[in-house]
Amino acid sequence: MLFSKVIGHAALKAKLIGNIREGRVPHAQLFVGPRGSGNLPLALAYAQYLLCEQRGLADACGACPSCQQMAKLAHPDLHLFFPIAFLDKKPHTCDYFTANWREALQAEPYIDIDRWRDRLDSENKQLRMGVEIAAEIQQKLALRSFRGGHKVILVWLPELVDHQAANKLLKVLEEPEPNTLFLLVSTEPEQLMATILSRAQLVKINALEPTEIADALRERFPELIADEALAIGNRSEGDLLEAVDMAEKGEAEHFVFFRDWLRACYKREVANAAELGEGFAKAGREWQKALMRYGLFIMRQCALQWMKAAPLVRVTGQELEFVGRFSTLLNERNAEGIRRELETAHTHIERNANPKVLFMDVSYRMMTMLKG
């Protein structure tokens, strides 16, 4: 994880980088921040910068052997600990789950406990860390540093360490090994033993700003316009995961509506289209515009598929299935015509057109364009 990939927190990043450059590296640090704030990505970026062999002024180089291993979260001097599900007949160690944890982190470095639990076949068990994990940490401490620099022990959610294991963890924090660095990443520090709290230097991470969330969302959802992204940024209370959920939910709604509508147009089901038109008219103008933009996005994907440029198609799952089927209905004339219809509809909605009338007009033209 590079600092440049971590959303926001400019001042804190500069401070962390400055500390490393000046050789002020406390042996235990507690990165505390609310859900979706980026406490874990920041700790990972900190570790990468520390271990980088060609540090820049503002970030790790991203290219040295150490950075390459960090990109895969497979640096031999980075040891990852995290809560796990205690499954019958399976080891209660992080080692057993590490491959899965790396994949999870690469897919979503802002991950929270619920997302992680969903990934594990956890049988709905509470995730935790027990004495086995304390023993694992001790094993890692006994290893020599592979690359000759620091060893980093990164513990995600130390508040979920069992009492007995917490005492062992406290012991290693009290008797620091040279060149070994503990990064504890917590969202609920009040659940931590006070003695552990007192052993670690606090790195406080604030919730993100709405504008920071908005920018991050637009990178993840290119079809989202600035106003919508900012609206979500404002509603999500600085929690990137919450914001991503909101954006995804909006997209899912648009997909279902758009798919059902095109299906009705293709089958020339006028009554069905009219019923969808009622729903369309009732939704707010921002939603209607967002639907048209979403439609344009999906039609672009269909056009790419139709032009045999499948590797450029940027959808997955249900959407991809839809794109595969719908693209077979496209031809020289209607591909461009449908695009123009959606664009014009977007403009008309902006200019306060009667949504019901507009929707039926567009529906009739779609029916013609999709005819055999």
Closest CA to 32 of 154, 156, 192, 202: 202
CB of 62 to Zn ion, least distance (A): 6
Q: Which helix (H) or strand (E) holds 87?
A: none
CB of 49 to Zn ion, least distance (A): 8
Residue numbers of the site for Zn ion (CB under 5 A)? 52, 60-61, 64, 67
Let me know: does 77 contact 51? Beta carbons within 8 Å. Answer: yes
CB of 205 to Zn ion, least distance (A): 23
Instruction: Name the residue nearer to Zn ion (CB basis): 60 or 184.
Output: 60
Tokens of 228: 């919508």
Instruction: Name the residue nearer to Zn ion (CB basis): 18 or 279.
Output: 18
Q: Concatenated DSSP letters for 1-14?
A: --GGGS-S-HHHHH
Let me know: does 51 contact 42? Beta carbons within 8 Å. Answer: no
CB of 69 to Zn ion, least distance (A): 10
Q: How far is CA 10 from the centre of its chain?
A: 20
Instruction: Name the residue nearer to Zn ion (CB basis): 67 or 298.
Output: 67
33/203 Cα distance (integer angstroms): 9
- Length of the chain, in residues: 372
CB of 105 to Zn ion, least distance (A): 19
Closest CA to 260 of 318, 179, 340, 194: 318
Instruction: Name the residue nearer to Zn ion (CB basis): 1 or 246.
Output: 1
Instruction: Name the residue nearer to Zn ion (CB basis): 145 or 234.
Output: 145
CB of 57 to Zn ion, least distance (A): 13
344/362 Cα distance (integer angstroms): 9
CB of 64 to Zn ion, least distance (A): 3
Question: 């123009």: which residue's tokens?
Answer: 340
CB of 180 to Zn ion, least distance (A): 20
Closest CA to 119 of 147, 85, 95, 152: 85
Instruction: Name the residue nearer to Zn ion (CB basis): 67 or 230.
Output: 67
Edge to edge, what strands does the sheet with 180-186 contain? Answer: 78-81, 151-156, 180-186, 28-32, 201-204
Instruction: Name the residue nearer to Zn ion (CB basis): 61 or 141.
Output: 61
CB of 43 to Zn ion, least distance (A): 17
Instruction: Name the residue nearer to Zn ion (CB basis): 4 or 138.
Output: 4
244/236 Cα distance (integer angstroms): 9
Instruction: Name the residue nearer to Zn ion (CB basis): 3 or 182.
Output: 3
3-state helix, strand, coil in the chain (%, to 5): 60, 10, 30
208/38 Cα distance (integer angstroms): 8
